[in-house]
Amino acid sequence: MHTLDKELSKHVEVARTRPVLVDRYGVPWVWIVSHSFRVEDDCLKSYAEPDHGLVALREAIDSVLAHEGLIMSELTARCVSGVDARMITRAWLLQIVYSLADPKRVRKGLVYNMLWRWFVGYSLRSEPLPEPQAFIQDIKMVSAHPRVIDIVFRCLSDGSFLHADPAEFRINYGWLHSLRADHLEVMDLSRGVPAGRNQNDRRDKSAVE
C-alpha cells in the first residue's frame, strides 16, 4: 500500500498493458485493471467459438426471430422476469436441444455456462441474471405458445442443422413434434374441423411423399 501511494502513476501505467495485483500486509487485496482489458475479459462473445454447434444454432434461431417482431413484442410484455421474449425463446431452445426435462436446469446452467449465456442473448458476464422463479415461469409461458413452438420447429428443421453433432446435442424432436401436433389439433377444433381429421390427412400426405 505504501508503494502504491508513492508510485501510483507508475502502477497505473503498467496496468494499461496487464493487470496489476496490489498486496495489503502481504495478502492480495485489489487488482488494477485497464478498461479495455476489463471489457475484453467481461465479453461473452469470446466463448463463442465459430465451429461450435451453438453458434450455428444461434444464427438459425435469429434468422427466424427476425421476422417475428410483433409476436415477440407481445410476449415480452407478458414476461414477468423483465427479459425480452427472444431471450426466453432461445433459453427454451436450449431445453429442447439438450433434452432437459425441467427449465430449472436451463436457469442453473446459465449461472456457470458462459456459452449458454451468450446464446440466450447476454453480452457481458457481469450482466445480472433474472430471478429464477420468474425466468422459469416465462419459459413455461413462452413454450406453450403455438407461434413459438412453430418458430423453434422451423429453426430445428433447417437443413444445416438436421445433422447436428450427437455428441453435443440430444434434440428432443419427439417432444417438439408432440407439442406442435397438439396445437395444430386445437387450431383444427377452433375452426370446426373434426378431431384427428387434419392429423390423419397430414399422415396420409406424408405417406404419399
- For the stretch 4-62, pLDDT in tens is 555 667 766 776 766 667 777 767 767 666 655 555 555 888 888 888 889 989 999 99
What percent of the chain is modeled with pLDDT above 90?
Answer: 45
Same domain, 115 and 130: yes
Terminal-to-terminal C-alpha distance of the chain: 77
Instruction: Tell me which of 1-10, 106-115, 191-200 is least confident.
Output: 191-200
Lowest mean pLDDT among 19-28, 86-95, 140-149, 186-195: 186-195
Domain for residue 180, yes or no? no
CB atoms within 10 A of CB 99: 13
Q: Which long-range contacts (CB under 8 A, 24 or more apart) does 133-137 make?
A: 134/80, 134/81, 134/82, 135/81, 135/83, 135/88, 135/91, 135/103, 135/107, 136/103, 136/104, 136/107, 137/80, 137/81
Q: Does residue 57 form part of some domain?
A: yes
Residues in the chain: 209
d(CA 153, CA 161): 12
Q: Are residues 83 and 12 in the same domain?
A: no
- What is the domain range of residue 82? 47-171
CB atoms within 10 A of CB 4: 17
Average pLDDT over residues 82-103: 96
Q: Report if residue 191 sits inside a domain.
A: no
